[in-house]
A and B are shown apart, each in its own frame.
Chain A
Amino acid sequence: MSAVIKFFSRTQGHKKLSFVDWIAYGYLFLGFLIIFLPVAWLLLNSIKSQFLLQKLDTNLLPLDYDRVVRATVFGPEGKEIFIIKDLPDWVIYWNELRDEDKKQKNDPEAFILKFDGNEYYALRTHLGLVSKHAKELIKNKNLPEWLIKYPSMFPNAKKDYDPDTYLKGLNEEEIRLLSEFLVLKPYKPNGFTSQILVSAINPDTQEIEEYSVNRINTNKETINARLISNPQGGIVKIPSNEIIVNKKLRPSWINYSDPLTNNVRGMNFDAIKCLNNSVFVTIVATIITVLINSMAAFALSKYRFNGQIIFFIIILATLMVPASVLIVGIFKMVSVTGLSGTLWGVIIPGAATPTGVFMLRQYMLTIPDELLEAARMDAASEWSIFWRIVFPLALPAIAVLAILSIIWRWNDLILPMIAVSTTKTAYTIQLCLLDFQGEYVAQEHYRLAMTVVSLIPTTLVFVFLQRYITTGIATTGMK
């Protein structure tokens, strides 16, 4: 620690900070901010709740607002929009709770009994009790089993069944429950959305009143809001600079715990499997890359053979071909060789990199030929010259290539998409992250959190290997 303080309090020869020191430290600080701010933004956003992310919240910290619930209930009378206030947190944040918290700490069954009418229906849908109650009803009344599967059937399959006939023997409440479950007209899934509770001056009455708003955008002059005392009155515009909002710090750790414990609603996200695949691809591919590239570089730098320059130019020329041009070719190669759907299809096509060959060749050129000749006089085979002399001496360059390869492979999205996009079990972490952005669901809160998790290994690799880049082998033993 004292070394760090000493480092940051150095001045240019004098005791006091000089002009140059100010510029140097200022420049350092600016560079630090440019690099650090996006990372800090990512870290802080990864612990924001789904609600905040959906509202495109621009605060740096995960400050949650006071919320109210805007419910939309569909019934025979049409749809009714109303606002439920003063709900306990666990009800508002129900969808963001962990499964065990839902069951252990709370009792939704007892809770909804405190309500009646449309509020009851809205909460029943929100707390996930519709399907539970409906299944109990089907069981108790000995209704046919296919009713349970009916909501998830394809429209064509639904034609073969007629649920209406079974509704006749039921009472009004039971009909409503089953209809909501089966999504029969005029019932639709009830809407239940959290909104932000703000206070503002009512332009009509000039009194402070509470409003519910969808999102707060201070860039706009007015905000669309719904008066809580008269939700049916429709949207009114209130000036955005006069609103009063309550915020409190509420990091949403479930962003991390849910995906890591395979607890993501609506999809099978196996973080351990994804990470395992990525680790396997990264390690194996890096080993193969280092081996192939260093052997090629050894031959190009230390042997004289016909066409040496041509080979080198061809290798370098491939640098000029954009990776995206090769997608179709790689796809064909991978599928023809039967590697499609296996992790080897990700590993092998990228094993030899022109960058790596070039970098290692240039480094190996600096290893004196006399060392190789000394080894030859020492009766070393060519393989042992490579493995015991050149490879260890090229270690600083090889460490750089290894670090680059680890970062390339870990962050690679294109090769996994080409090779394994049809095989879920072979998804690497980057493909898995892509999965959070589905056609119907966007779970950005999980995606941000898992992005942070996926950054950990590359960060660690860099922290532990960077000293190889900087130190290298200081003395060459020559002269």
Chain B
Amino acid sequence: MANLELIDVKKTYDKLQVIHGIDLEISDGEFCVLVGPSGCGKSTLLRMIAGLEAITEGKIVIDGKTVNNISAAKRGLAMVFQSYALYPHMSVRQNLAFGLENLKMKKDEIDERIMQAVKLLRIEDYLKRKPGQLSGGQRQRVAIGRAIVREPSIYLFDEPLSNLDAELRVATRVELKALHERLGNTMIYVTHDQVEAMTMADKIVVINEGIVEQVGSPLNLYNKPANIFVAGFIGSPRMNFLEFESLPNDIKSFAPSNSNVFGVRPEHLYIGNEHSLKLKIKNVEQLGSDSYLYGETVSNQNLSIKLNHQTDIKVNSEIDISFEKENAHWFNKDGISI
């Protein structure tokens, strides 16, 4: 149990700065998700918290104690790696026991902790197997078990679900969330998948090019994105962006001043003509429960619509679409929400 504080943390490789001063506070028991596109520095940040990367500038504080110069081994954190990083030559039991043996723990206690963890993760039957003989989901559980037996103050997850197939990913997502409820530890979770972030997080930190774009609860980020980047990153399918100048006058009329870009989410568009946008349909995707329409506006800008019912609209037909006023997002020249 611990809270974590990052104060103006920076990271520079040779002359290339990848983390540009991040301030962040994660309180005890929080499930915090670091999300961002690949190469944004989120994994680097996690590895700096873990102690696997040196900190160029700034401070990392765990429970009021600066840990900049404390080695990874002594920070008392546990990490689940993207590739699981199970020791291939050791059985599952040895994998789980390795960290505890390094802490010179007594054998009885090691056994007890392992038994607890394997019961929790339902991997009792595989204790004698080598990682190579396990399926992807089983390896994932062992990797999580290796973190659990350590009883760390903070769990770190580095894209742990990215190697699982879609079905298993959803199941494990639910399980991880349940695990967090049960253990109540602070967890920091890195992912590039905004769905994972939305479903699991208490707090989402959106990172882009080494800068924190926005911190907040999932719905807060969805409803009130701070800027174009967050607006585009959170939500699936992506938010539609149209240039202000290309909009019809009746829409322009209720826009705040200084608006440069207009944004509206595909699920907030419907067929109708209150605030009419003319659209030529280029593609239709029917998913049964939902339908996605892709089209071009009069000014040749792409627009997508999500309908929560089936549709008989054909490709190349022209339709009028509309939206509720309060669902419109407006951004100024710098991409900041107005």
Contacts and interface: CB of A to CB of B under 8 A. Distances in A.
Interface string A367-392: 01011011111111100100011001
B85 A478 contact: yes
A380 B104 CA distance: 11
B73 A477 contact: no
Interface residues of B, number: 33
Contact of B132 (A375, A381, A474): A474
Contacts of A373: 47, 50, 52, 72, 79, 81, 85
A479 interface: yes
B132 A475 contact: yes
A380 B130 contact: no
B15 interface: no
A473 interface: yes
Given A377-B72, A378-B150, A380-B73, A477 B102 contact: no
Contact of A376 (B52, B88, B133, B139): B52
B83 A370 contact: yes
Contacts of B74: 379
A388 to B, nearest CB: 7
Contacts of B99: 377-380
A368 B130 contact: no
Contacts, number: 89
Contact of A378 (B88, B98, B133): B98
Contacts of A475: 88, 130-133
Contacts of A378: 73, 98-99, 102, 146, 150
A478 B87 contact: no
Contacts of B200: none
A476 interface: yes
A376 B85 contact: no
A398 to B, nearest CB: 13
A60 B73 CA distance: 68
Interface in A193-233: none
A393 interface: yes
A381 B88 CA distance: 19
Interface string B68-85: 000111100111011111
Contacts of B132: 474-477
B102 A473 contact: no
Contacts of A393: 88-89
A306 to B, nearest CB: 14
A378 B146 CA distance: 9
Nearest to B158: A370
B56 to A, nearest CB: 16
A478 B89 CA distance: 11
A379 B103 contact: yes
B312 to A, nearest CB: 45
Contacts of A474: 132
Given A475-B130, A477-B130, A477-B132, A376 B72 contact: yes
Most buried by B among A388, A474, A478: A478
A440 B83 CA distance: 70
B186 to A, nearest CB: 16
Contacts of A379: 73-74, 99, 102-103
Contacts of B133: 475
A475 B139 CA distance: 13
Given A370-B81, A384-B102, A475-B131, A377 B50 contact: yes
Contact of A377 (B77, B87, B89, B163): B77
Contacts of A389: 87
Contacts of B163: 479
Interface in A425-479: 473-479
9 contacts: A371-B85, A371-B88, A373-B79, A373-B81, A378-B146, A379-B73, A381-B102, A479-B84, A479-B136
Given A373-B81, A378-B98, 19 more contacts: A368-B83, A373-B52, A374-B81, A374-B85, A375-B87, A376-B51, A376-B72, A377-B73, A377-B79, A378-B150, A379-B73, A380-B102, A389-B87, A473-B89, A476-B132, A477-B84, A477-B131, A479-B83, A479-B136
